[in-house]
């Protein structure tokens, strides 16, 4: 399965040593999250090649319990003496930390329901620098096909990694992956207009047809950038706005996840709680699922930060609250079981977060959605990128709609500049949600959503 | 450190090209207390060496945590291989870096040892007390949180053209948050502070207890506050908001890498870009404010940091440079090259960015404002190469006929940076560096600070429309 035999052995040995040293220092339970990564990257800057870089290293974090007291320490060293110091430091921290009844280190079952995710591609693992140069040349040539593009920076990175979670209760999870990730940050300029920066990133875990994939994603990004050169001014109004899939995820779904977070529910800062499960909390048009099993997305894997197997979860079905995200801490506090949503890396303590969110499509073709108009303006704003603030507690959001498009009767007119939008997430996803498009888009190799027609948005022209 | 420096120096003597070796050891601690429970106490240690080289007009970079002589040699070879791999593909070769003043010696910022000596347990007890202050400030407080973190940075920077600097500094920050709830409404108030130095310098302006009660009061007040109307308005920005404006709206557009990519500041040197009341600087170290959050004496290319005047009386005077961009513009580097960790290559970043104070008092400015808002308590922001910026504020107070009236819920402020600076018609003599616990994100995080006086300008508020 993997050719990282030496690295796997080192990771396993260091994990065992850390747990053993922690027990010698007085720990009652211990968990090690370890990782190994090796990557090479080539970057572009100002239309040209900028830098080539390589990096290889390990990272270990050890969490220990002494009764109900917890300590954590991490290091990037493989040195046996330093590993012992790290284990001792974690125990020392636990010794002076007050008790917290929700801390636990638990035994979890090996993943049984997760499919074979095909995260490892032997061909990609052996990618030569020459091949990597060919791929980034595809990227550079494609984005610069139009002379109006100004490339600020671009990167293509090829890497392989290992993730390990072991604990003193018998949990043992190991996963390896390969990836090629590419990203661009650019703007467009002609004699009259300089557009805002735009950004995109993508990931692939298989080398097959990678060159084509890079060309296609870059071409789409270039065309979107050039569209921003046609600018105009929109009036201020309050009314209907279409949120693109990116806007739906960034502005509406991300703050929603704050309220679905088991730790936030446990601390009483969510608008929902266990009693709300099964209740209609949002528009019946909204269906939201979370999965970690899509191998072509950034966030995927068969186990979480605590080693708990991941699963597919229907978070919201027809507006009814179905599930919440739980790690062991929040699960213990709420008398539930973990849903496999402990997030974080080897140098951080577990927190809670989603994997890949999938908002289900609606019934209305996107073209039909865009034929809607506001009676006060005779037009409709299509919001893409959002540069602003969302208060997850209240759900209020306010910010600049970057590259937003002005449409009249289903036809694109121009992109607006210096235009702000504001509203409230929960109003947007309840009575103000008028429709979802039948088509969905994957945003930056991550979550996926349709476009949404939403009423009651304040649009302020600068 | 000195033994390691000698080992690195010795390895670099065999370098066949210009080469820079940067050892970075970061120790950090973080504590989180919420509703009387300690949720997090952790310690992190990361150390390693980043090697950067310039071969045939191309940059190569490699990093390693193996600090043996063999490990260093291997990283040097890999960096050279990386540079060679793209040198033939470059359209325009990077010219050799011209000689410049480079740092040699030991550079330590005050407070490192004092912060190190103070036991983590003592800091945890203080965090528990601070969280308790918030929780007991009002019955409406639903959730109270205190997060404390500190970083100890040890660096060795050696280049083949003469830099040999050993530097040490400690940074710390505290974040206090209160969430109030009443009849289904919720609101959050925050107070944050970030400094370079010992524990005490976090509380030189506001004691910890006061910060906690201020966060709680803000959350309670915001519960009842209405949403603000959107549109162009007269704003008096607090020093913290001026810091955000300085950093987001102006600072990023004058970073020379953005300038070379075509930012709005390109070609504007010597042009009037702001009101003559506005002078803007970026400084690595301010003797009068030695604990500013973004302080550093030497940058990550070995260049001594300095006070760079970006705008003087409204005229754009300088961009912010690393060695490569300074050579491209034919000027001296400004000491703005910074890397987050040893695995990161240095980028052009700000340090402590501020507008210089003026002559009026805040009271005079408020009294001479017919209709406007006093904007305070920043929530972060973003800027564009076009100069378009936005930043969030937790607290917006209405001003009518020279008097402060009621509070609105937080809002976003946006505008075109240089247009907003041209609209400045009043600058206070009160001055603070007050960005709080903020980090700048530009591919890598960087600890920065920013501030200035109270400043009156015109900008757009992203509020509600009727």
What is the distance in angstroms between the Cα of A420 and the nearest Cα belonging to chain B?
5
Contact partners, residue A375, CB within 8 Å, separation at least 6:
A239
> Is residue B104 less than 8 Å (CB to CB) from chain A?
no
> Which pair of tokens denotes residue B139?
């019955």
What is the distance in angstroms between the Cα of A196 and the nearest Cα belonging to chain B?
6
B107 pLDDT above the threshold of 90 = yes
**Centroid of chain to Cα B50:** 23
Cβ-Cβ contacts under 8 Å, A53 against chain B: 60-63, 82, 345
The predicted structure's pLDDT at residue A194: 84
Task: Report the relative pairing of strands B352-355 and B449-461 from DSSP bridges.
Answer: parallel
Write the Ramachandran bin of A182: left for phi over 0, alpha for psi from -120 to 50, otherwise beta: beta
> Is residue A79 less than 8 Å (CB to CB) from chain B?
no
> Is residue B90 less than 8 Å (CB to CB) from chain A?
yes
Among the residues of A184-298, which ranges form H helices? 210-227, 245-247, 254-260, 262-267
The predicted structure's pLDDT at residue A1: 45
Q: Least CB-CB distance to A460: which of B40, B43, B465? A: B465
B57 pLDDT above the threshold of 60 = yes
CATH 3.30.2290.10 residue ranges for chain B: 2-224
B261 pLDDT above the threshold of 90 = no
Query: Across the interface, do B460 and A53 touch by the CB < 8 Å criterion?
Result: no
Burial class (CB in 10 A: 0-12, 13-18, 19+), A416: buried
Q: At what angle do helices B69-87 and A129-143 cross, to 10 degrees?
A: 40
Cβ-Cβ contacts under 8 Å, B74 against chain A: none
B321 pLDDT above the threshold of 70 = yes
> Is residue B419 less than 8 Å (CB to CB) from chain A?
no
User: Binning pLDDT at 50, 70 and 90, where does residue B46 land?
Assistant: very high
Domain range list for chain A: 5-226, 231-462
> Which pair of tokens denotes residue A359?
């908002």
Question: In tens digits, what is the pLDDT along chain A, a chain of 462 residues?
Answer: 447 999 999 999 999 999 999 999 999 999 999 999 999 999 999 889 999 999 999 999 999 999 999 999 999 999 999 999 999 999 999 999 999 999 999 887 655 677 778 899 999 999 988 899 999 999 999 999 999 999 989 999 999 999 999 999 999 999 999 999 999 999 999 988 888 889 999 999 989 889 999 999 999 999 999 999 999 988 999 999 999 999 999 999 999 999 999 999 999 999 999 999 999 999 999 999 999 999 989 999 999 999 999 999 999 999 999 999 999 999 999 999 999 999 999 999 999 999 999 999 999 999 999 999 898 888 999 999 999 989 999 999 999 999 899 999 999 999 998 899 999 999 999 999 999 999 999 999 999 999 999 999 999 987
In chain B, which among 298-327 make CB contacts under 8 A with chain A? none
Q: Can you tell me the mean pLDDT for B217-228?
A: 94
Query: Across the interface, do A268 and B392 touch by the CB < 8 Å criterion?
Result: no
Write the Ramachandran bin of A338: left for phi over 0, alpha for psi from -120 to 50, otherwise beta: beta
Query: Across the interface, do A398 and B124 touch by the CB < 8 Å criterion?
Result: no
B223 pLDDT above the threshold of 90 = yes
- Per-residue pLDDT tens over the stretch B90-105: 999 999 999 999 999 9
Query: Across the interface, do B231 and A393 touch by the CB < 8 Å criterion?
Result: no
Contact partners, residue A46, CB within 8 Å, separation at least 6:
A151, A152, B257, B260, B261
> Is residue B227 less than 8 Å (CB to CB) from chain A?
yes
> What is the end-to-end Cα distance of chain A in Å, rounded?
56
> Is residue B88 less than 8 Å (CB to CB) from chain A?
no
B348 pLDDT above the threshold of 70 = yes
> Is residue B451 less than 8 Å (CB to CB) from chain A?
no
A5-226 is classed in which CATH architecture? 2-Layer Sandwich (3.30)
B2-224 is classed in which CATH architecture? 2-Layer Sandwich (3.30)
| Torsional sign, CA B269, B275, B278, B282 | negative
pTM equals 0.93
Q: Least CB-CB distance to B91: which of A48, A349, A387? A: A48
Which is nearest to B81 in space by CA: B96, B66, B65, B59?
A: B59
């Amino acid at each position: 399965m993997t050719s990282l035999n030496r690295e796997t052995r080192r990771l396993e040995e260091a994990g065992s040593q850390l747990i053993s040293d922690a027990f010698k220092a007085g720990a009652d339970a211990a968990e090690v999250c370890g990782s190994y990564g090796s990557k090479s990257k080539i970057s572009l800057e100002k239309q040209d090649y900028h830098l080539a870089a390589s990096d290889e290293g390990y990272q270990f974090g050890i969490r220990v319990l002494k009764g109900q007291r917890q300590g954590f320490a991490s290091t990037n060293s493989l040195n046996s003496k330093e590993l012992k110091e790290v284990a001792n430091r974690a125990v020392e921290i636990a010794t002076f930390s007050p008790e917290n009844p929700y801390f636990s280190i638990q035994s979890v079952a090996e993943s049984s329901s997760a499919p074979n995710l095909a995260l490892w591609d032997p061909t990609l693992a052996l990618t030569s620098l020459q091949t990597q140069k060919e791929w980034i040349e595809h990227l550079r040539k494609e984005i610069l096909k139009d002379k109006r593009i100004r490339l600020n920076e671009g990167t293509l990175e090829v890497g392989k990694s290992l993730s390990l979670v072991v604990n003193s209760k018998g949990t043992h999870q190991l996963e390896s992956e390969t990836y090629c990730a590419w990203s661009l940050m650019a703007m467009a300029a002609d004699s009259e207009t300089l557009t805002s920066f735009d950004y995109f990133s993508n990931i692939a875990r298989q080398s097959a047809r990678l060159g084509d994939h890079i060309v296609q994603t870059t071409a789409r990004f270039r065309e979107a950038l050039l569209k921003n050169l046609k600018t105009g001014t929109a009036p201020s109004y309050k009314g209907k706005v279409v949120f693109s899939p990116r806007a739906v995820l960034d502005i509406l779904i991300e703050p929603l996840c704050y309220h679905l977070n088991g730790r936030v529910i446990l601390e009483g800062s969510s608008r929902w709680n266990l009693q709300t499960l099964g209740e209609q909390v949002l528009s019946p048009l909204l269906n939201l699922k979370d999965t970690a099993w899509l191998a072509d997305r950034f966030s995927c894997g068969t186990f979480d930060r605590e080693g708990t197997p991941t699963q597919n979860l229907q978070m919201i079905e027809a507006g009814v609250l179905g599930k919440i995200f739980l790690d062991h801490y929040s699960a213990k506090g709420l008398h539930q079981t973990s849903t496999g949503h402990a997030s974080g890396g080897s140098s951080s303590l577990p927190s809670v977060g989603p994997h890949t969110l999938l908002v289900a499509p609606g019934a209305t073709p996107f073209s039909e959605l865009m034929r809607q108009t506001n009676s006060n303006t005779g037009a409709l704003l299509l919001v893409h990128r959002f540069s602003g603030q969302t208060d997850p507690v209240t759900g209020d959001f306010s910010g600049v709609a970057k590259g937003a498009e002005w449409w009249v009767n289903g036809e694109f007119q121009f992109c607006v500049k210096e235009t702000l939008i504001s509203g409230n997430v929960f109003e947007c996803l309840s009575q103000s949600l008028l429709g979802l498009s039948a088509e969905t888009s994957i945003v930056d190799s991550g979550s996926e959503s349709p476009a949404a027609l939403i009423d009651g948005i304040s649009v302020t022209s600068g | 450190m000195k033994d390691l420096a000698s080992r690195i120096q010795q390895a670099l003597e065999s370098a066949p090209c210009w080469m820079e070796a940067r050892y970075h050891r970061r120790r950090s601690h973080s504590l989180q207390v919420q509703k009387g429970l300690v949720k997090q106490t952790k310690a992190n240690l990361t150390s390693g060496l980043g090697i950067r080289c310039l071969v045939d007009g191309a940059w190569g970079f490699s990093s390693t945590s193996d600090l043996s002589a063999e490990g260093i040699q291997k990283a040097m070879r890999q960096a050279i291989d990386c540079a060679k791999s793209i040198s033939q593909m470059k359209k325009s070769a990077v010219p050799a870096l011209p000689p410049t003043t480079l740092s040699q010696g030991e550079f330590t910022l005050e407070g490192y040892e004092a912060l190190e000596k103070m036991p983590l347990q003592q800091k945890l007890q203080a965090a528990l007390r601070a969280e308790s202050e918030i929780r007991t400030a009002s019955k409406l407080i639903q959730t109270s949180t205190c997060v404390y973190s500190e970083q100890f940075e040890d660096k060795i920077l050696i280049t083949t053209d003469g830099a040999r600097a050993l530097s040490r500094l400690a940074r710390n920050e505290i974040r206090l948050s209160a969430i109030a709830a009443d009849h289904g409404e919720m609101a959050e108030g925050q107070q944050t502070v970030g400094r370079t130095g010992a524990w005490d310098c976090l509380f030189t302006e506001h004691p910890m207890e006061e910060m906690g009660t201020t966060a709680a009061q803000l959350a309670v007040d915001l519960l009842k506050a209405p949403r603000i109307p959107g549109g162009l308005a007269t704003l008096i920005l607090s020093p913290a908001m001026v810091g955000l404006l300085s950093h987001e709206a102006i600072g990023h557009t004058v970073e020379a890498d953005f300038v070379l990519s075509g930012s709005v500041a390109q070609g504007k040197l010597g042009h009037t870009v702001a009101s003559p009341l506005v002078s803007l600087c970026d400084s690595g170290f301010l003797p009068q404010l030695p604990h500013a959050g973004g302080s550093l004496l030497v940058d990550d290319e070995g260049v001594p940091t300095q006070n760079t005047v970006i705008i003087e009386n409204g005229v754009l005077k300088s961009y912010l440079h690393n060695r490569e961009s300074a050579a491209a513009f034919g000027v001296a580097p400004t000491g703005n090259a910074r890397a987050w960790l040893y695995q990161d290559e240095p980028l052009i970043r700000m340090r402590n960015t501020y507008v210089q104070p003026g002559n009026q008092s805040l009271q005079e400015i408020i009294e001479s404002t017919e209709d406007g808002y006093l904007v305070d308590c920043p929530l972060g922001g973003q800027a564009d190469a076009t100069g378009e910026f936005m930043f969030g504020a937790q607290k917006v107070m209405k001003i009518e006929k020279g008097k402060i009236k009621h509070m609105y819920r937080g809002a976003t402020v946006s505008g075109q940076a240089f247009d907003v600076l041209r609209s400045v018609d009043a600058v206070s003599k009160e001055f603070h560096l007050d960005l709080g616990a903020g980090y700048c994100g530009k591919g890598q995080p960087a600890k920065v600070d920013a501030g200035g006086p109270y400043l009156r300008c015109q900008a757009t508020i992203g509020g509600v429309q009727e």
